[in-house]
Amino acid sequence: MPHSIRIHSFPLSGHAHRVELFANLAGIAHEVINVDLAGGEHKQPAFLALNPAGQVPVIEDGSTVVTDSNAILVYLARKYAPSWLPSDPVLEAEVQKFLTLAAGEIAFGPAAARLITVFNAPLDAEFCATVAARVLGKIDAHMEGRSFLAGDAPTIADAAVYSYVAHAPEGGISLEPYPNIRAHLARIEGLKGFKPMPATKVGLAA
């Protein structure tokens, strides 16, 4: 590539981490630019010019700007790592299902539970735990006899789901009841180029 992707990120954001993780796993040249969320950098004109929503992640690929973590995964896979987004319609639909799960039940379950403990978000911990149990149960059942979420090789679905599921214990959500999930996380962590998200010692991870 003539240039590297610029990823505007924040170390403790699972949404941003899934983009960094995928770029690393897929060997996509990139540089990470950490945004000072605590200092309000994401609300300043320079950042809002990139993403009017004032959220990370955002990528710059030359003159192209892409926002939303799952949209970024699709863009990067289509352009630079097509094997991570299958062209087979059945497998592509399976990938899309997990992108939706990442933006839905994972976001409102384990991700939201972690927001409470890491960022003191004013959310309902009991509701988050209920949603987390439901979605983790679904994923664990799906992973029975499988190595990856969609097909026999890793895809952007695995990158999309990994970050918040792996860090669910920080939100007080135990992964002990889900052996297939724990095996799946270990499988991703064993891939060449794996990049962890910084741990926060809160919840069950304290």
Task: Summarize pLDDT for 15-39 with one digit per residue, the tens.
Answer: 999 999 999 999 999 999 999 999 9
What the block records as the tokens of 128 is 């988050």
Kindly state the percentage of the chain with pLDDT values over 70.
99
Residues 6+ apart with CB under 8 A from 162: 18, 21, 185, 188
Residue 1: pLDDT band by 50, 70, 90 thresholds? very low
Give the residue-averaged pLDDT of 125-140: 98
How far out from the chain centre does Cα 154 lie?
14
User: What local confidence, expressed as pLDDT, does residue 53 receive?
Assistant: 96
Cα–Cα distance, 120 to 114 (Å, whole number): 9
Pairing of strands 5-9, 30-34: parallel
Are 28 and 81 in contact by the 8 Å Cβ rule? The answer is yes
User: What local confidence, expressed as pLDDT, does residue 2 receive?
Assistant: 52
pLDDT digits (tens, 9 = 90+) for 40-68: 999 999 999 999 999 999 999 999 999 99
pTM of the predicted protein model: 0.96
pLDDT digits (tens, 9 = 90+) for 58-97: 999 999 999 999 999 999 999 999 999 999 999 999 999 9
Neighbouring C-beta atoms of residue 84, cutoff 10 Å:
23
Residues 6+ apart with CB under 8 A from 166: 185, 197
- CA-nearest of 78, 77, 70, 73 to 106 is 70
> Is the torsion defined by CA of 136, 138, 142, 148 positive or negative?
negative
Residue 3: pLDDT band by 50, 70, 90 thresholds? confident
Per the prediction, the chain carries an average pLDDT of: 97
